Amino acid sequence: MTTTKHLLTSVEMARFVANGFHRMDAIVPSDLNERALPVFDAGHQSLPHVDYGTPVKRAFPEGSISRELVELPEVAGALQSLIGADPTVDHHAIHIREPHEGSAQPLHGDAIIDTRQDAFDVQLMYYPQEVTADMGGTLSVPGSHLRRTNESDTGRYQNLRGQTRLTCPAGTVVLLHHGIWHGGRRNDSDIRRYMYKIRFNPTVPQVRTWDVSDLDDPQVSAELSAYHPWSEHATSRLEIHNRIKVWRALTNDPSFDIDYWATRVANRPGRV
């Protein structure tokens, strides 16, 4: 990536670890949105073929919509914060929801066999047009990304407490942890809805890749301690414990803890 000027703070990183996403509203310039719409309208054949594991600059040629998108300072800085420098492209795709199509995508997680605690992929979702409530939007369940399931195990659920259905201005970009539960909602409007997705794989350890000047801010622990409505209070502690393990890996600090939870369960007294 080309910039280090828009790195996330430690508080923002902790919020990502707790929620599973980082949202940036209307950060893509209007001229890029306008150029993107006819490209996306043409469908998948308008995208360059990208082999798994291709470096970004080889995957997306200079001047392409994709290249300009990922080199926007806000996007580049957030990606570097989350996955480090020089990520590779896993795949990319255009998702189109037709007007009045009458169906929705089941709630699911993309990475059915990916149980890494010390690393994660990031999925970029770009919305070149305004998404209104009747256009459906992408549904996601904040905080679900560390509760691992087989891909469509959650497909039976129609609604979960705390879920969000994206409405946003044109030019919005959302960066998602690969494990978050999500699904494209039914489009009840008269307008075609577009979402462009790129999945990135890290190539360097995801350790202190953001602006760590506020690493000791008490708000970091507060963000990591957040509860989400879909999980009742007692079992929400499992999510907090999972976040502690991720934060320890991201900061290379095996002593980090919240309310002694990880320290307690890791205790292995030696025999006399």
- CB-based contact 196:36 (threshold 8 Å): yes
What pLDDT is recorded for position 47?
Answer: 87
Domain 10-201 has CATH 1.10.260.40: no
Full strand arrangement of the beta sheet holding 122-127: 21-24, 172-177, 122-127, 193-201, 88-97, 54-55
Across 201-226, average pLDDT: 97
Q: How far apart are CA 251 and CA 222, in angstroms?
A: 16
Domain boundaries, the chain: 10-201
Q: How far apart are CA 58 and CA 137, in angstroms?
A: 31
- The distance from CA 264 to its chain's CA centroid, rounded to whole angstroms, is 30
Q: Band the pLDDT of 1: cuts 50, 70, 90.
A: very low
What pLDDT is recorded for position 22?
Answer: 98
Stretch among 23-27, 34-38, 103-107, 227-231 having the lowest mean pLDDT: 103-107
Find the DSSP H helices in 44-128. 56-59, 65-70, 73-83
Answer with the residue of higher pLDDT: 151 or 10. 10
What pLDDT is recorded for position 106?
Answer: 85
Q: How far apart are CA 231 and CA 41, in angstroms?
A: 39
The mean predicted confidence, pLDDT, of the chain is: 92
Name the residue among 230, 236, 192, 205 with its Cα closest to residue 95. 192
pLDDT tens figures, 156-213: 887 889 999 999 999 999 999 999 999 988 999 999 999 999 999 999 999 999 999 9
pLDDT tens figures, 40-61: 999 878 888 999 999 999 999 9
What pLDDT is recorded for position 272?
Answer: 63
Residue whose structure tokens are 């000791």: 216
Q: Band the pLDDT of 266: cuts 50, 70, 90.
A: confident
